[in-house]
A and B are shown apart, each in its own frame.
Chain A
Amino acid sequence: MSGADERKVSSLRELSPAIEPARDLWPQIEARINAERSTAAPPRPARARAVPPRWLAAAAVVASVAVGVWIGRSLLPAARPAAQSPISASRANFTDAPTALDVAYVPDPRYQRDRAALMKTLQARLAALPPPARAKVMASLAAIQRAKQDLQNALGKDPGNALLQELLVNTYQDEMRVLTDVHEASDPGRGI
């Protein structure tokens, strides 16, 4: 303030309630920001920047599963020995461990759960059968196991073969039928 305009302020009430700035600075500020944006690197698309990391993780899991199934279908069966010893074959008859093909062809969790439950009680159910029937059922389960093994080996050589895939699914169904029949036949509360 220069001399003529200069006066002594003794109270806040003496000041003007609204004091406009001498000049509007915002247009200059905005122009400067825009100038800086135009000279910087072009921005990436908003969609690409918005992908959350969890989607990337999910995609990686799907890719891993696909590769795993492919390995199971095309590599594992071929890598298995063509002929098993009788002892290992008989042990394999009642194994509950799912193979890579089990995972590839029988993804239904209900099926897996039902089969696991039937396999858990199979030995006890077999023991309840008359000895001749028990021997025949065990031979039939071994035949199913061999059929699954043969089909898996063949699918290892020809993974896309629809005939083999259909026969393998049939064999899984037949195995469930046998397990269910044995379960019912040895159940004292059913039928007898």
Chain B
Amino acid sequence: MGVPRDTHSETLLRPARRSDRLSPFLLVYVLLSLLVLLGAMSTQNNMLFWLVGVAISSIIVSGFIAGPAMMGVRLGPMAPQRFADAGTATALAVRIVNVNRRRSLYALRITAEWSGPGGRVVSVRAGCAAVRAGRHADVPLEVVFPSRGAWRVRTVQIETTFPFGLSRKLLIFRPAGRVLCLPAAASVTRFSGRSPGMVQRTVSRAMPASNDGELVGLREYRPGDPKRRIAWRATARLGRLCVREHEPSNASTFWICPDVSLAALRDKTESAERTMAYVRGVAEQLERRAGRVGVWHPASGAASRPGDTASWRRLVAELGEQAPRESAGPGPGTSGIVVGPEGVR
């Protein structure tokens, strides 16, 4: 929703810049038209005069059709924060809103640029055939972010050469969305030094027997709730699935500590990135086992909120650029595991 106020809408983004550029075809077209004009004047051929008239009016009508239509282009809300996997295609979308009353938009070419860690830029293109008047269209973008980190949308350019390919009308938007790019999850069963069974046992031993805090009440079952939280008696009494709701307990959280220096994370060294890939792999594995997971980086003091998936994912993505301290980290008596570039220690 990171959009400045708009005249008509709080959520729609106006273009930061507009520009009209001449297409190379226009040069050919104008030269050809001039030749025809010379021919018409020399021969007094009225068919040629009329074709010259049509050629000139095509340029005028082209601007008349495309110009007002492009005045009504707004950028819809972009996902403020989204997670993506580094190195794999991520499906994103740009919402193009046509606030025109009558003019539809056609043949839009969208170019979105993201800037990421280390000043790297990723650019992706997509096309949109039409956006009817007063409607919007979500244009899918397949983006491959090359590395872990926070990728911010730098610009979204919308251009069109419609209707005749004579001029290029360009709108540049500067939306405020970002994508948090996680490293590709490394499998904890695949690192040297320990057998897979040993790793599994290590992780299992490290898991607390119960990760529930104080019981605060019952609530209706939601998809994804662990089965062991189902309150069977209440379910039987009420006739619908109910689960117990517990106060989050810091002590019941399983903490993962990446053993990597802040400098290495900033420099995105290979070992640091591999460590973060293991962190993600371990965290996801533990979460699947219904564990409450937190990530804590002692060197920077960054810590995710215990049991908050989005929080630890944010931390894994951004560690090194920012030091998000969303909680105090592990307290006394908590269990944890240290993950290094070679895997779980």
Are chains A and B native binding partners rather than an unrelated pairing?
A: no
